[in-house]
Structures are given as C-alpha cells and as structure tokens.
Amino acid sequence: MLSKYLWKIRSISLIFKLLIPFLFLSFVLTATMAYLGLTSQQNMIRNEERKEIRNFYYLFVEKMEYTKRRSLSLASVIAENPDARVLLANRDRQALKKRMLPLFEKLKKDAEISQFHFHTPDIRSFLRLHLLVEYGDSLAYRKTIVDAVNKGHGVAGLERGKTGLGIRGVAPVFHKGVLAGTVEIGYPFGMEFLQDLKVKWGPDFTVYEKNGDNTYNCLTTTLRYCDELRLIHYLKDSKTDEPTVIIAPDNCPQKSFTLGPIRDYNGDVVALVKIEKDRSAIMGRLNDTRTLMVLIGLSGIIVSFIVIWAVSLQFTRPIKEIVKVAQEIAEEKREIHLDSRPEDEIGVLTKALNSMLESLRQRRSQIEDYAKTLEKKVAERTSDLVTSEEKYRTLIEHLPLIVYRLLEDGSVELVNPYFAKKLGYSVDEVVGDRTFWRKTIFGKDHGDRDNFLSTFAEDGKEYRAERVVKDKSGNVLTFIDRMIPMRDDAGNIKWIDGIMVDITELKRLQERAIQTEEIKLLGEISARFAHEIRNPLVIVGGFARRLQDSLPENDKHHDIARIIVKEVARLEQILRIMLSSIQPFTLYPSAFDFNSLLRSLISEFNSIIKQKHIDVEESLSPNLPSISCDENMLHRAFKSLIVHAILSMPEKGRFLLSTASENDHIVVIMKHMEESLSEEDLEQFFFPRVTDKVGKSGENLPLSKVIIHRHGGKIDVSAEEGDIIVIRVELPIRQGD
C-alpha cells in the first residue's frame, strides 16, 4: 500500500516536482520564523509567569514566618506577666483563668489568635482558654512544648494540636528562677490566613494536608469549593523546599500553578499549598500574535507560489514534448526515430529514447516467448510457498512454547504469540527494540553487538541454558532455553532459532519438596536428639540439686553445685524450646484481614508500650488483600516477634511496623533498636537460646520461623546503622492446595 502511494507521488507532473519542493522550502522557512518568534515570546512570558507565581510561594512562606515570630512574641510577653508567673507556679487554675480570659478575648479580636494555652513543666495541659473543658492530658507529642521546656527559651512553628494545624509560639514561664511551665499562643492555619493572602496578592490559595506518602486531603481554600489535588504527578521528588511551578497543565490551560511544601516545626512536610493564577489575558495576547504570524506566512507562501509557477513553466515546456513522444512509443504508436535536438540535456534524452525504441523492438519478441511459460511457473511456486507458510504459522502459533528467531546483532526477527501471553510483552515491543532480547531475556547487554550470537554457538552446535526472566508485571519465571544456530554455505551464523519451555512451576515444586523433606528430616533428628539428652540431663539435675541441698552454704562446693543446677536448668529450658519448635502441627487456612491481626497484637501489649514510653509507628497498607492462612498460628508467631521486639528495645525507643503487597505476597517489616547485637547473634537470631535480656520472650522465636515457613513464606533479619534490627516477613496471599 505504501509503495502504491509512493508511486503515485513520483508520477505527478514535473512542474509540480519543481513547484512542491520550493513551496515546501518557503513554507518551512516561513513557519520556522513564525515558530521561533512565537516560541521566543511564549518562553519570555512563561519565564515571567514562572518567576511571578514562584514569588507568591515565597511570600506565602514569609507570611508564615511572620506569623511564627508574632505568635512567639505574644507568648514571650505573656510569659513575662507577673500575675501569670505567680498563678501558674501556684497551680491556681481558676485564678489564672479569671485573670487571663479577658486578655484572650481581646487578643482573639485584635490579634486574631485562636489558641491560648498554659502547660505544666511535666508537659501536660494546665489551662486551655480556647477549650476550657479540656485539660490535664499529656502533650509529650508536641515538640514545641518539649523543646521550650528542655531548652529554656521560646520556640515557634507549624504544629498539629488538639484543635488541628496551627502556627504556634511557646515560651517558658519562670518564677523565682524556676520553670513554672510554658505558655502557648497559636494562630489558625485556615481560611482567614489564606483569605488575607488573596486580598493582598490576588491569586487563590489552597492548602492540602498530607495523609500518607502520596495522599493529600483538602484542608482549606479561597476558591468557591475545595477540590481534590489533581496535580500530584507534577510534584518533584526532592527533599528541598523548592516549589513546583506548572504553567497551563493539560486539564487547565488557562491557569498557572505553584505547588510548594509546608513543613511543620519538626521539618516534616505536613501539607502542600497550591497557588493558582488566571492567565486568560496572556493567552489572548498570544492568540493575537499567532494569528498575525499566520496571516503574514500565508501571504508569503502565496507570493512564492506565483513566482515559482511562472519559472517552472519555462523549464517544463520542452520536457512535455519529449514525454508526449515517449508515451507514443510506450503505446506502440511510434516506431520511427525522433528528430535530433541540440546537445543539451534534452538532446541527450532524445538520443536515449531512440536507443530505447530500437531495443524495444528486439526485446518484444523475447518477452512474448518467455511470458508464455512464466505465468504457469509463478502460480505453481506461489501455491507451494503459501501452503508451507500456513503450516509453519499454524504450528508455532498453537504450541505452548516460546518460539523465536534471533539475528546476528541480537535483534528479534520473529516470535510467536505465546511469548506475549506468557510474559506480557507485545510482539511490537519485542521486534521493535533491537536490545530487548539482550537486556530482558539474557539479563545483560553484551559489548560485541555486531557478533552477538557467536558467543552462544562457537562450536556450531545447539546451546542449552536455564534462564530466569521477569515478565512485564515483575513476576519471576524460569525457562529452559534451547538455541539452534543456522549457518550459510560459508559457515557463518545467519540466525538462531530457539525454543523456550516454562519450568517455573516445576522448579517451585522441586524446591518445596526438597525443603519439606529437609525440614521433616531435621525435625526427626532434633526430636530424637532432644529425647536422648533429656533423661541423662534430668538425672544430672536431680543429683546436682541433692548435692546442693546436702552441702552447707558456707562450703565452697555449695557454690559449685549451685552453678551446676543453674546451668542444667538452662539446658532443660533450651530443650523445652527445641521440642516446642519441632512439635508437629496442622494448619487450618482461612481468609482474614492481616492488618487487623497486627493491630490487635499492638493493642494487647499497649500497657507495656506505655510503660516503656515506646513510640509505635504504624504504616499499614489500606489496600492489603485478605490472606488465606491459619490465623491462630500466625497470631502466635507474630505475637512472639512483637513481644521480643518490645522487651529487647530501650525505653523511649521507636518501633516501626509496616505492611505492603508485592508480587502476590504480603510483606511485613518490623524495625526496632536492639543494642549490642553482633553479626553472630543476627545469624543465630531464631536459634533456641536463653538470655537475661528478654527473658522468656525469645523462647518462641524458633517456632515463629517454623510457622512462617510452613505457610510457604520466609523471614529475614538484618541490621541497619544505629543498632536498628530489621525483620522482614513475606507470606503468600493464597496457599497452595
């Protein structure tokens, strides 16, 4: 079809062959000049737009800094109030309320504050003038208050409190040189804050509060309604405070936007501010300029067309005469030679036509004889080729195998549809990318691309290898790849035909069978070994206790006997752990919510967590699918892991618990600090052991690993900097039958 259109293009008149390139050149030059002019103007305008809307973000940040300084200034002034010092030091809540409530009402009206709060040195709420019924609760989660108490000077910043986000200033209150508490002044971070910015500067402001990694919920806006954040994909992956500027996005070409981070007192990004400005006037100016450029360009093209047409006619007139004669020769209406012409290009063409005319006479008779037999031979050969191709195509399209052909440079010439069905890549993706097979199937890019296939067939024989390949979704598959080199008469490789057989399921079954057999054998050996040790150990322990009881306490042999009794008890405890770990059990799978199981375990040990002041950070995936496992056994396994983590970590530590879904598996990650844990301890983390550090919490760790392995999962323990222990558990979402 393409060649047909190309032939039609080549068959146009010579005058148009001259006219079209010159017109095209004229059009390109005119369009280029117009494009460069428009682009230059548009770039200048966009740069100015970008600077302007970026400055709005810096003004927004400066407004927040001004509000911080103002809140800290007010808090510092109140902290110097003699009545406030005495009443807070005496813990006279009613008197302090009576003294400060009129001041709060005045500041609320004149200075537009929204929070007026006194705290005790133990970081608890003493008096909320903006919420009188709420007091006495712990505020240890408030970093501004903690820093003001610990550092002894005022601090300010954006922070979340009981009434939501606010710009808060906290100042310490001293009475007779002793810290009596702290006082807090807070400004609302809402509509009033943004409306003031809109009135002063013009653009609309919208604040989106961060809820998770990439989720932002609308907090407040100066627009008529608060919509969802549709520009999240424009955000830069950066930890700096540089805003993201978006000029005329696809879904809103008449607007320009700035997305900037809003950081709280801790320096964490807790919200985004979206600043949007209307650019209708700029677009109108650009459209007028574009229309003017188009009109000028069209005028130039029309003038060029007229001039080029006149010049082309002068060149093509003699050529038309030669063409007419050539047509007569082609139609066999002319057999006499053409008249001679001057020795220019037209004269040379005339001689060539005369030579062609003579040659045609001689060839005509030969062609007539050859045509009598050619048609029959072509029909027979075509039929054979069509039949052969249909058989071959039917075979490779229905085989449950990957059939392919690689050329010398490693590119794919053909591949059957089963490849797309198995790995998810379309045939166009495979054939269109010359490096696809090297990178995706072989897993590396060989340096010698011109002689790529010779590395797999140096001896001219077929090559067989086991390959691990990831499909388009990231799933890992295993294939047996059989490559057969095809050579020409000189012995050089022309291509390689290959067949790939999927053995992923076979490998998985083999590994599971080997693992099951090894676990069974180790269990039987361990059980036999434990029972053989128990009897002599009981006897040794009994005699050691009798010996200890029979010796007076001041006898030096009494201490030796006591050590024997202690170590025998330790061995008996290790045997008990081993027997509980290898004791057979049956799984009863059922579907349940895995996040709920983890939350119930954290709630179960909430008292210990509060007692040790442990900060538990949960990051549980809301889209986690239901898991088909034995809920009771997994409850037992993760209970042991969580208890061990809580007991082994220091006070005021941080315990991170997260879940995610990856490749048909649920992944659970637990992080906590555990001091003085060597590499050997990490390697033997699930070995039966008894330590004074965590008591009996480590007894069920071996059984936890057995339970997870019985569910077809795996568990790994590693260390990070700062004595951080990372426990990673992977469980299949669906258990095999």
Give the Cα separation of 712 and 508 in Å (integer).
11
| Per-residue pLDDT reduced to its tens digit, 94-148 | 999 999 999 999 998 888 898 999 999 999 999 999 888 888 899 888 899 999 9
Give the pLDDT band of residue 702 (cuts 50, 70, 90): confident
Beta partners for residue 37, in sequence order: none
Q: Give every strand in the sheet of 412-415, ordered side by side.
A: 412-415, 402-407, 493-502, 476-487, 463-470
Give the pLDDT band of residue 728 (cuts 50, 70, 90): very high
Q: How many domains does the chain have?
A: 5
Which of 227, 255, 280 is a domain's end point?
A: 280
- What average pLDDT is seen over the chain? 79
Give the Cα separation of 582 and 705 in Å (integer).
11
| CB neighbourhood size of 648 (10 A) | 20
| Bigger pLDDT: 138 vs 576 | 138
What pLDDT shows up at residue 394? 63
Pair (514, 480) in one structural domain: no
**CATH number for position 153:** 3.30.450.20
What pLDDT shows up at residue 181? 93
Q: Is residue 377 part of a domain?
A: no
Counting Cβ atoms within 10 Å, is residue 462 exposed (0-12), middle (13-18) or buried (19+)?
middle
Counting Cβ atoms within 10 Å, is residue 445 exposed (0-12), middle (13-18) or buried (19+)?
exposed
What pLDDT shows up at residue 247? 82
Pair (701, 619) in one structural domain: yes
What pLDDT shows up at residue 580? 57
Angle, alpha carbons 25-26-28 (nearest 5°): 65
Give the Cα separation of 185 and 154 in Å (integer).
11
Whether the CB-CB separation of 220 and 226 falls below 8 Å is answered with: yes
What pLDDT shows up at residue 448? 47
Q: Is residue 393 part of a domain?
A: no
Expressed in percent and rounded to 5, the helix, strand and coil fractions of the chain are: 50, 20, 25
Give the pLDDT band of residue 292 (cuts 50, 70, 90): confident
What pLDDT shows up at residue 273? 86
| Bigger pLDDT: 414 vs 447 | 414
3-state secondary structure 114-135: CEEEEECCCCEEEEECCCCCCC
Measuring CA to CA, how many Å separate 269 from each of 174, 239, 252, 264, 490? Answer: 33, 9, 26, 7, 68
User: What does the pLDDT average to over 190-205?
Assistant: 82
Q: Picking from 79-88, 323-332, 497-506, which range would have the lowest pLDDT averaged per residue?
A: 323-332
Is the pLDDT score of 550 beyond 70? yes
Q: Is residue 231 part of a domain?
A: yes
Amino acid at 274: K
Whether the CB-CB separation of 674 and 648 falls below 8 Å is answered with: yes
Q: Is residue 576 part of a domain?
A: yes
Q: Is residue 682 part of a domain?
A: yes
Give the pLDDT band of residue 552 (cuts 50, 70, 90): confident
Give the Cα separation of 666 and 651 in Å (integer).
30
| Per-residue pLDDT reduced to its tens digit, 395-423 | 566 667 888 888 877 788 888 888 887 78
Whether the CB-CB separation of 675 and 723 falls below 8 Å is answered with: yes
Q: Is residue 15 part of a domain?
A: no
Pair (208, 177) in one structural domain: no
Whether the CB-CB separation of 111 and 78 falls below 8 Å is answered with: no
Amino acid at 23: L
| Bigger pLDDT: 9 vs 625 | 625
Q: By percentage, how much of the chain surpasses pLDDT 90?
A: 14
Pair (485, 546) in one structural domain: no
Pair (92, 180) in one structural domain: yes
Which of 531, 554, 582 is a domain's end point?
A: 582
User: What does the pLDDT average to over 519-527?
Assistant: 60
What pLDDT shows up at residue 737? 41
Instruction: State the residue range of the domain holding 276.
Output: 204-280
Q: Which residues contact 524 (CB under 8 A, 6 or more apart)?
A: none
| Per-residue pLDDT reduced to its tens digit, 68-95 | 999 999 999 999 999 999 999 999 999 9
What pLDDT shows up at residue 101? 92
Element (H, E) at 392: helix 345-398
Pair (185, 222) in one structural domain: no
Is the pLDDT score of 252 beyond 60? yes
Pair (430, 475) in one structural domain: yes
What pLDDT shows up at residue 695? 46
Whether the CB-CB separation of 686 and 704 falls below 8 Å is answered with: yes
Pair (572, 609) in one structural domain: no
Strands (DSSP E) along 562-625, which ranges?
590-592, 615-619
Which of 148-162, 250-264, 295-309 has maximum average pLDDT?
148-162
Give the Cα separation of 21 and 268 in Å (integer).
61
Pair (419, 496) in one structural domain: yes
Give the Cα separation of 666 and 124 in Å (integer).
40
| Bigger pLDDT: 575 vs 209 | 209
Q: Which residues contact 13 (CB under 8 A, 6 or more apart)?
A: 316
Give the pLDDT band of residue 576 (cuts 50, 70, 90): low
Amino acid at 593: D
Which of 280, 310, 334 is a domain's end point?
A: 280
Tallying the residues shown for the chain, one arrives at 737
What pLDDT shows up at residue 125? 92
Taking alpha carbons only, the member of 203, 201, 193 closest to residue 271 is: 193
User: What does the pLDDT average to over 9-38?
Assistant: 75
Whether the CB-CB separation of 666 and 594 falls below 8 Å is answered with: yes
Which tokens sit at 457? 């067939």
Name the pairing type of β-strands 615-619 and 654-662: parallel
Give the Cα separation of 490 and 23 in Å (integer).
52
Q: Which residues contact 161 (CB under 8 A, 6 or more apart)?
A: 115, 142, 168, 186
User: What does the pLDDT average to over 711-732?
Assistant: 88
Pair (478, 603) in one structural domain: no
**CATH number for position 720:** 3.30.565.10
Is the pLDDT score of 590 beyond 60? yes
Is the pLDDT score of 261 beyond 80? yes
User: What does the pLDDT average to over 164-191?
Assistant: 90
Dihedral over alpha carbons 462, 463, 464, 467 (to 10 degrees) = -140
Pair (217, 177) in one structural domain: no
Q: Is residue 569 part of a domain?
A: yes
| Per-residue pLDDT reduced to its tens digit, 200-215 | 888 888 888 888 777 7
What pLDDT shows up at residue 409? 75
Q: Is residue 18 part of a domain?
A: no
| Bigger pLDDT: 473 vs 346 | 473
DSSP string, 550-572: HS-TTSHHHHHHHHHHHHHHHHH
Pair (159, 269) in one structural domain: no
> What are the φ/ψ torsions at residue 202 (nearest 5 degrees)?
110, -50
Is the pLDDT score of 693 beyond 60? no
| Bigger pLDDT: 444 vs 654 | 654
Give the Cα separation of 253 and 276 in Å (integer).
12
Is the pLDDT score of 627 beyond 60? yes
Give the Cα separation of 471 and 419 in Å (integer).
10
Q: Cα 406 from chain centroid?
A: 33
Which tokens sit at 429? 């993706």
What pLDDT shows up at residue 735? 54
Which tokens sit at 425? 């890549």
Give the pLDDT band of residue 514 (cuts 50, 70, 90): low
Query: What would you report as the CA-atom Rg of the chain, rounded to the nearest whole angstrom?
Result: 42
Taking alpha carbons only, the member of 102, 61, 49, 42 closest to residue 78 is: 102
Which of 20-29, 309-318, 626-635 has maximum average pLDDT?
626-635
What pLDDT shows up at residue 23? 76
Give the Cα separation of 209 and 166 in Å (integer).
12
